[in-house]
Chains A and B, each alone.
Chain A
Amino acid sequence: MHRYVIKRILLLIPVIIGVSFMIYFIMDLAPGDIITQLVGEDASEEQIAALQHEYGYDRSVFYRYGKYMLGLLHGDLGTSYITKKPVWDMYITRLPKTFWLAIGASVVAIGLSIPLGIVSAVKSGSLIDNSCMVLALLGLSMPNFWLGLLLIIEFSLNLGWVPSGGFRGFSSVILPAITIGTGHMAVMTRTTRSSMIDVIRQDYLRTARAKGVSEHKVITKHAFRNAFIPILTIIGGQLCAGIGGAVITESVFSWPGVGRLIIDYVHQRDVPVVTGSIIMTTIITGVIHLAVDLLYAVVDPRIKGKYSRKGLRLAPRVKTKRGAA
């Protein structure tokens, strides 16, 4: 088990290097030049030259990337070109807000889609099933900004129940969480439905029913527990997507999250902020995926054995009979 965890964490390193390389180069080579941004309207040539030297823009992009990665090796995510603040500080003040929003969105998505999924699985093929699925899809198809503003007008302006935006305690999470959460509903409801259908038809449920266990208990306890693994994967995936920030929802709700941090600085060509924040997102995402995989073992003890025996495999892969190509 330990070896598996360590191996998985080590495997993150090449991904981080790859991600940082890709983002750094795209950002650095994008049109739009940070030096003009910094010195502004009427800078002299000497000023520009001095700045170019300071930021390494008199050398090649490889030099700048190398310097950045050297810093990263010492745990330094870099310093913003624009604000001169450490990227770590900028990221870490945003992370909790993004984190709460991601959690909130997952809670909304789970709360709405698991009941919907179970109902449509139980009533599979009926009108109820179809309406549940359409309802779930509506959440996905409604553009986030539109839904967001409609929610603000109704619940904040007309009813005055919650603040209109910003990070102001628990109540302020509700509307943006609904906006994002309903977007996740479709996939989660569909997954719940199909894995429930898989499970419902299996023999041991028939046995349970035969033994006189109530239908309600059969569904909620026996079936759902076994259908939970695919759902867990989706929840993990959506948490990860949430950690990267939701740019549009964040700007509708003036939410000071990671998404807006990144897009603001993409616009300003602040390479260290963008690269550093995306590296952090990658690391956190990797850890969440690992946590989800470990949770499988909790939900289904059979999986635990797999991890310790074949601890070196990334994920269970399909076996093939093929020899060398």
Chain B
Amino acid sequence: MKKAIITILCLLLVSAFVFAGGSNEGAAASAAPKYKEAVVCADGSQITTGDPQSINNLQHNRLFKCSHNTLVSYNSAAAVYEPELATSWEWSSDLLTLTLKLRDDVTFQNGEKFTANDVKYSYERIMGMNSTASSKFVGVLDHVEVVDDYTVKLVLVSPNVDWLDTLALPLASIVNQKAIEADPLKGPWVGTGMWIITDLEEGDFVHMVKNDNYWGGTTPTRELTLRYISESSARLIALQNGEVDVCIGPASTEKGFIEEDPTLELIEIPSATCCYFAFNTSKGPGADENLRLALAHCINYEDVILGASSGEGTRAITNWGPATYGYYDGFGDYTYDLALAKEYLAKSAYKTLTISVKDSARLRAAQVIQANAKEIGLTINIEELEAAALTAKSAFKTAEHESMIYTLGWNSYGDDASRAYGKNSNTNKATLSDDRVMELLKLARECTDDAQRKSYYAEIQTLNHEHAWYIPLFYTELSVAVNKGVSGVIWEGHQSHDYSNIVVSI
């Protein structure tokens, strides 16, 4: 009996070697690299629409970078603007008019030719849309002039050095008038990009096939699917199973599984996302500078990073993107000093503060801060709200929150600061309307001198440090788990990765 088993085992072993050898030979025979035909990327946020102009968030931006094109694009590695649908551009001397020359060899995915009229149609459509996207255009762009089929003039309301950045955002993608008029729902899906959206099931996936008539090159991948998997554990399991090739944001505690698995790779991306504490400075306890400084000096920042993101993050000194134009941290950090904090608190009339938070990482950060504040006798209540309620509660004009923890993904250009500091901006979670800050933002927006512009931004950050409207906490660490064969993706610190040239070698 025993003998029989051993014989069988030996036979199995031998056959395994034979088959393994055979497959090795097969691989050697086809020397050219082989690529997967269908690639799947998974993310924890869902895609709800294929209309690039109606929405402006990470997961949608990733989609629109595949399906649509903008006139210019920003190369964050080289920090330069690059031509996309425009071949060249020129500012007028008063910085009010931007004239762009367009490519003449581009067709839309429905066969229509791309001309200057499409630019006019697209930008006018954004202006009339009344969406989160349109606010980037309304009040900035005055009108669009078609000079000839391949030349277009954009006339601005007031000088804006950062206008090219807006044009590089996926929300400024060029769409096709005929397609939209024929089908208002699916028409906006038609772009000039490398990938054609064929199927979009909300809460599930977006499926794309390659545009064989794409003007800008080709890729061996035939199909690209973006899948929504909300639970991070399930997302990583899908990657380990080979159901997907890219898994955005694996849980930090599960990174060990990625390292263990020889077929997977962990990509760490320098992050532009800052997590910070924001007081509502317009009323209540948040209006009291002593209370704000007391909290700034009693927070144990290392513990916050440990609690909120398992220690994976770097302490932020200023509320600004690390790679964003105008970054300045010359004033140093808030020292952890309980005696000093108690001194500030003694001068404050308030002894309690409510923090409003939404998701789990911020909730954990809030709990650590709650425990820290207890040491100096400051009582903190945590209010957990859902996204919609929190957005409404902290909207600039009707702000009712006392304080909150917020994360902002910083773009690379300077005027991005007006999101956090500008009047009426709903991401201005400090409800800040300080005159000097507003003046500085305007000066910087209209200034072409590099050193001068940077000094304006440095002053804003210094003011913030002195008054502690925002207490910067940490920059989140970004990681993506991928199948080892994945290449061709442009990974971005602001997380709007470009998948259009993704390939997976096998």
Contacts and interface: CB of A to CB of B under 8 A. Distances in A.
Tell whether any CB of A sits under 8 Å from a CB of B in the complex: yes
A296 to B, nearest CB: 37
Nearest to A85: B185
A166 B204 contact: yes
B391 A36 contact: yes
Given A31-B389, A36-B395, A165-B231, 11 more contacts: A38-B130, A40-B131, A41-B132, A41-B419, A44-B135, A47-B130, A166-B204, A166-B227, A166-B229, A254-B227, A268-B388
Interface residues on A, range: 35 or more
Nearest to A31: B389
A254 B231 contact: yes
B135 A164 contact: no
Interface stretch (B14-22, B234-242, B366-374): B234-242
A153 B238 CA distance: 10
A5 to B, nearest CB: 35
A261 B203 contact: yes
A38 B132 contact: yes
Nearest to B231: A252
Please give me the 9 A-B residue pairs with the lowest Cβ-Cβ distance, nearest first. Answer: A40-B132, A256-B204, A32-B388, A32-B389, A32-B392, A256-B203, A254-B229, A42-B425, A164-B237
Given A149-B233, A160-B241, A164-B241, A41 B204 contact: no
B131 A38 contact: yes
A32 B234 contact: no
A253 interface: yes
Interface string A247-259: 0000111101000
A43 B396 CA distance: 10
Given A37-B391, A157-B240, A269-B388, A93 B202 contact: yes
A164 B234 contact: yes
Interface residues of B, number: 48
Contacts of B230: 251, 254
30 contacts: A31-B392, A36-B392, A36-B395, A37-B391, A37-B392, A38-B130, A39-B130, A40-B426, A41-B132, A41-B425, A41-B427, A42-B425, A44-B424, A50-B130, A51-B130, A84-B49, A85-B49, A149-B234, A152-B234, A164-B234, A251-B230, A252-B234, A254-B229, A256-B202, A256-B204, A261-B202, A261-B203, A264-B46, A267-B386, A269-B388
Interface string A193-217: 0000000000000000000000000
Contacts of B237: 152-153, 156-157, 164
Contact of B387 (A44, A84, A90, A268): A268
B392 A39 contact: no
B234 A253 contact: yes
Contacts of B419: 41-42
Contacts of A230: none
Contact of B138 (A47, A163, A264, A269): A47
Nearest to A263: B386
A33 B392 contact: yes
Contacts, number: 133
Interface in B102-150: 130-136, 138-139
Interface in A128-178: 149, 152-153, 156-157, 160, 163-167
B464 interface: no
Given A38-B130, A38-B131, A149 B231 contact: yes
A41 B427 CA distance: 6
A94 B202 CA distance: 9
A83 interface: yes
A303 interface: no
Interface in A32-88: 32-33, 36-44, 47, 50-51, 54, 82-85
Contacts of B277: none
A42 B227 contact: no
B240 to A, nearest CB: 6
A161 to B, nearest CB: 10
A82 B229 CA distance: 21
Interface string B427-457: 1000000000000000000000000000000
Contact of B234 (A54, A167, A254): A254
B388 A42 contact: no
B285 interface: no
Nearest to B202: A90
Nearest to A153: B237
Interface in B385-442: 386-389, 391-393, 395, 398, 418-419, 422, 424-427
Contacts of A33: 392, 395
Given A84-B54, A164-B241, A166-B204, A42 B231 contact: no
B183 interface: no
A83 B54 CA distance: 9
Contacts of A268: 387-388
A93 B234 contact: no
B342 to A, nearest CB: 36
Given A32-B391, A165-B234, A41 B130 contact: no
A54 B129 CA distance: 12
Interface in A237-254: 251-254
Contacts of B136: 42
A147 B203 CA distance: 22
Interface string B443-483: 00000000000000000000000000000000000000000
B44 to A, nearest CB: 10
Contacts of A254: 204, 227-231, 234
A49 B246 CA distance: 42
A261 B204 CA distance: 11
B198 to A, nearest CB: 15
Contacts of A42: 135-136, 418-419, 422, 424-427
A260 interface: yes
Contacts of A43: 135, 426
Interface-central residue, A42, A50, A82, by most chain B CB under 10 Å: A42
Contacts of A47: 130, 134-135, 138
Contacts of A36: 391-392, 395, 398, 426
Interface-central residue, A83, A90, A165, by most chain B CB under 10 Å: A165
Contacts of A83: 48-49, 202
B213 interface: no
Interface in B239-284: 240-241, 243
A156 B229 CA distance: 15
Contacts of B134: 47
A208 B229 CA distance: 56
A169 B237 CA distance: 18
A40 to B, nearest CB: 3
B135 A39 contact: yes
A156 B398 CA distance: 48
Interface-central residue, A36, A84, A163, A269, by most chain B CB under 10 Å: A36
A256 B424 contact: no
A269 B388 CA distance: 7
Nearest to B242: A160
A145 B136 CA distance: 41
A16 to B, nearest CB: 25
B135 A163 contact: no
Contacts of B205: 166
A254 B201 CA distance: 12
A167 B243 CA distance: 13
A149 B130 CA distance: 41
B88 interface: no
A39 B46 CA distance: 19
